Structure 1
Amino acid sequence: MAFMKEFHDLEIQLEDIRSATNNFGDENIIGIGGFGKVYRGSITHSHSKRQIMAAFKRLDRRYGQGDPEFLKEIMMLSRYKHEHLISLLGFCKDDGEKILVYEYASHGSLDRHLSSTSLTWRQRLNICLAAARGISYLHDPNGTQQRVLHRDIKSSNILLDDNLNA
């Protein structure tokens, strides 16, 4: 498939993902979405050659998504780079598996923190501004990319890093 040749440098071997997630062990599940289960694990980053934490989104066709969504996500997310968007690190399409590998957001989704009294108003405002900047980039990327309308903006889709940056 000519399309996939363009993204060959993003391919990650299934055995590396199995190793990183302890063979998709339940102890590594960090979420479940419309695509399937999401796992965390440590993997060697292809460019820096350092071990990094990553999130592995494993397609489960029972959730209604399939190959078109998998390919669309690779195509879209590999082209959009912004400090307030989660980066696509790679993908796997071995043995019938379809797995997307993302930058890991250690504090998870915003919805888990909204009722917490430890989240200050300044942090809440910074999260709102960062999320707005990411959405603005997608909706109006100053002519550098095709415009993207997110269509599913909610607190469970806003992820937070080690420093609570969105």
Structure 2
Amino acid sequence: MVAASSKWGFFKLVDHGVPSEIVENMKARLNEMFDLPMEEKLKGARSATMPLGYCATNPDYGKNLPWAEILQLLQSPQQVLGFAKKAWTNGRLKSVIHRAVVNKEKSRLSIAYFLSPALSTIIDSPPELLKDPNTDPPINRKYVPFTWADFRKELLIQKRVIGKTALDRYLISP
């Protein structure tokens, strides 16, 4: 996973041990939810005070399929905190731009799981990632420390500018 994330920024996990019945049940429940009438789905819509729940990029789509429908749920911040310490990699692991292909005739179901720490969590490379076992001097730190809240704010401001990422704001030197 580290090699794939370092080179491509993406990988597909197979032979993960999750029984196929659970995977198929998840797909069936999501398809049932997305097949509901729009007025029903909008009862669970995201809002300014609750940024989780249902949203569609084009809720007034009529007979056309919406470009994307999303159901965003939250995991416990306590679950994430322990993990938050493979995650701050000093630029070692890549993140890819999402490039899903849209099909006007047929819907596609993707299920992704993203970990997000508490907003106050400080993002900083741990000392062990600033060492290279093949070299003597430590690796230079690439980013100044920042909070997850600051980073999320940058994400909303930047809106996927081509060739730039919100992380660029925190680079020590380009």
TM-score, scaled relative to structure 2: 0.24
